[in-house]
Chain A
Amino acid sequence: MYPIILLSFLGIVVLFLGFAKSKAILLPATLLFLAVALVGNFVEWNQGTIIYFYNMLAVNNLTLAFNGIVLVSAFMIVAMTRGFQDDDEAQPAEYYAIMLFSLVGAFMMIGFENLIMLFLGLEILSVAMYVLTGSDKRNLRSNEAALKYFLMGAFATGILLFGIALLYGATGSFTLTGIQAYIGQGNPSYLLYGGLLLVLIGMLFKVSAAPFHFWTPDVYEGAPTIFTAFMATIVKTAGFAALFRLLSHSFTGIYDYWWITLAVITVLTLLVGNIIAVYQDSFKRMLAYSSISHAGYLLIALTAMTPQTENSILFYSMAYSVATICAFGVLIPLAREKAMTGKPRETYEAFNGLARNNPLLAFVLTVSMLSLAGIPLTAGFWGKFFVFGSAAERGIIWLLVVAILMSAVGIYYYFRVIMAAYMKEGDTAEIRVAPFYKIVLVTATIITLLFGIAPGLFTGLV
């Protein structure tokens, strides 16, 4: 609860810091504020479940851990945003402030106890993302991405709201416990089923699960890369935390009704994400499809809904976020360098011969690709392991078969990048990266490897 209040307030402070003469203070200030929020987040660690604001928000170790993932991801991404200050048009204070505000939305989604909070959190996060997507004002691709994201996002919000209204009509309550109690009485109204379906569709839109994924590649490609990283990690983590909370706290009573729907969507998402990713030439677009496929893996855990699910979603989000930040973190300086020489910027060819002059970047990229592909000794492997384990526990073997086949497909397109970096001939000059940037990339890589070797360090925490 503290990070919500802290970041709401500190976001306004960042906004007003923008009026200072020197813009140099903004980045350290934002990082400091994020660190403060991180400390504030863990003040309530190990105090059991605390309910705030008349049953609006709940705080427990799980939500705090999700908040932690979101905050650390945001910290890394903000640390990478050095480029803002070069541009006259850019408004760094506003971007930092919007990022901080969007985190507030993410926290509300993670800890909601009342559907009003789910809606508000989702909107705070989404509206902030629409602005950030379109922040490259002169670039038509960024404009287009923003409009697409906005129209699709608002559409999804409408569907979600209608679902919430129907749920309220059936149960007479917006709280998770109220809905659960209603289902516990037995013989639920048809409004409840319709409402649940619409709420699921709205949420799956936001986490870009197939067949509601079609906006994702365009938006991810058009948005400035740094904000694509923000979207791919924080929006997805918060979205899955919210979906998990909704399904596990309210709808376990009618599991038989929704699990098959979710299973079909999971299979579709896995197929679409992985198979289309194979045919991409653009690295950024491939990462967009890869994010769809990772949504599929996370959905497996949701479909299974065993006691292990919360830990597997938590671990998977962490592994996926860190690896994705590394991938985008390598792409940003590389694309900037390529743009200066007028070469293709975001295709696989851009990575040709990266290893010769930039061994560090190539190594970071390799680890992140291995982690996304789920190769042992990286965090991504254990993420997949836990997720598949929860499906096996529930006994949904056919889902497991599809998932394992699709992760084999995934290895193909992730290794294409590694092959380009190490095997192909290319002439990428040495890329100068700020020391701070380097520290972030190396830390993220160490996290990936550390939890890859000893996942117990992380799972033991929660």
Chain B
Amino acid sequence: MNTNYLPSGFLPIVVQFVLALGFIVVTMIVTHNIGPSRKGKVKDDPFECGIEVVGDARTPISVKYFLVAILFVLFDVEVIFMYPWAVNFKKLGMFGFVEMVLFMSLLLAGFYYIIRKGVLKWEE
């Protein structure tokens, strides 16, 4: 494998970058200039799958969505501690298993707390 990277070796990346940027700029300019510009109340309305537009896009969202999103972030990230365990599973043996059970039971205690708090009840 070639391990000597010279600055000239990056030229294809630069070319790719310039082409990608150029394509976007060119298409934007061309569509603005070629296409006919007709304005009208109906035409300027936001497109919403053919049905009438209702209200503002920035309506308040129920805080339940937010809570679930936050909880997802928390529980999602805790999984990273399982990777080192998985990699060294054989070597850590029983000790690692016990530690991981302890860790998971702490996580589950938190999960049980969330359920008891009623955070995951959507209907109410």
Interface residues of A (CB under 8 A from B): 12, 15-16, 19
Number of interface residues of B (CB under 8 A): 4
Secondary structure dominating the interface of A: helix
Q: 1/0 per position for B104-124, CB-CB distance to A under 8 A?
A: 001001000100100000000
Are B109 and A12 within 8 A (Cβ)? yes
Q: Give complex CA distance A19, B113 in Å.
A: 9
Could you say which of B106, B109, B113, B116 has the most chain A C-beta atoms within 10 Å of its C-beta? Answer: B113
Are A19 and B109 within 8 A (Cβ)? no
Nearest 6 A-B pairs (CB), nearest first? Answer: A12-B109, A19-B116, A15-B113, A16-B113, A12-B106, A16-B116
Q: Give complex CA distance A202, B109 in Å.
A: 33
Q: Give complex CA distance A16, B113 in Å.
A: 7
Q: Give complex CA distance A12, B111 in Å.
A: 12
Q: Across the interface, which residues of B come within 8 angstroms of A12, CB to CB?
A: 106, 109
Shortest CB–CB separation between residue B80 and chain A, in angstroms?
A: 15
Interface residues of B (CB under 8 A from A): 106, 109, 113, 116
Q: Give complex CA distance A19, B109 in Å.
A: 14
Q: Across the interface, which residues of B come within 8 angstroms of A16, CB to CB?
A: 113, 116
| Sampled A-B contacts (6; CB under 8 Å) | A12-B106, A12-B109, A15-B113, A16-B113, A16-B116, A19-B116
Q: Give complex CA distance A15, B112 in Å.
A: 11
Shortest CB–CB separation between residue B102 and chain A, in angstroms?
A: 11
Chain B minimum-CB-distance residue to A91: B117
Q: Across the interface, which residues of A come within 8 angstroms of B106, CB to CB?
A: 12
Q: Give complex CA distance A12, B112 in Å.
A: 11
Shortest CB–CB separation between residue A93 and chain B, in angstroms?
A: 10
Chain A minimum-CB-distance residue to B112: A16
Q: Across the interface, which residues of A come within 8 angstroms of B109, CB to CB?
A: 12
Chain A minimum-CB-distance residue to B106: A12
Q: Give complex CA distance A125, B116 in Å.
A: 25
Q: Give complex CA distance A15, B113 in Å.
A: 8
Shortest CB–CB separation between residue A26 and chain B, in angstroms?
A: 15
Q: Across the interface, which residues of A come within 8 angstroms of B113, CB to CB?
A: 15-16
Chain B minimum-CB-distance residue to A16: B113
Q: Across the interface, which residues of A come within 8 angstroms of B116, CB to CB?
A: 16, 19
Chain B minimum-CB-distance residue to A15: B113
Q: Across the interface, which residues of B come within 8 angstroms of A19, CB to CB?
A: 116
Shortest CB–CB separation between residue A385 and chain B, in angstroms?
A: 45
Shortest CB–CB separation between residue B2 and chain A, in angstroms?
A: 28
Chain B minimum-CB-distance residue to A12: B109
Shortest CB–CB separation between residue A7 and chain B, in angstroms?
A: 13
Chain A minimum-CB-distance residue to B113: A15
Shortest CB–CB separation between residue A5 and chain B, in angstroms?
A: 11
Shortest CB–CB separation between residue A23 and chain B, in angstroms?
A: 15
Q: Across the interface, which residues of B come within 8 angstroms of A15, CB to CB?
A: 113
Shortest CB–CB separation between residue B121 and chain A, in angstroms?
A: 15
Q: Give complex CA distance A16, B116 in Å.
A: 9
Chain A minimum-CB-distance residue to B116: A19
Q: Give complex CA distance A336, B23 in Å.
A: 67
Shortest CB–CB separation between residue B91 and chain A, in angstroms?
A: 14
Shortest CB–CB separation between residue A130 and chain B, in angstroms?
A: 14
Chain B minimum-CB-distance residue to A8: B106
Q: Give complex CA distance A16, B106 in Å.
A: 13
Q: Give complex CA distance A367, B60 in Å.
A: 52
Shortest CB–CB separation between residue B16 and chain A, in angstroms?
A: 32
Q: Give complex CA distance A12, B113 in Å.
A: 9
Q: Give complex CA distance A15, B115 in Å.
A: 13
Shortest CB–CB separation between residue A146 and chain B, in angstroms?
A: 16
Q: Give complex CA distance A19, B114 in Å.
A: 12
Q: Give complex CA distance A41, B48 in Å.
A: 64
Shortest CB–CB separation between residue B1 and chain A, in angstroms?
A: 27
Q: Give complex CA distance A19, B106 in Å.
A: 18
Q: Give complex CA distance A12, B109 in Å.
A: 8
Q: Give complex CA distance A12, B116 in Å.
A: 13
Shortest CB–CB separation between residue B10 and chain A, in angstroms?
A: 26
Q: Give complex CA distance A160, B109 in Å.
A: 31
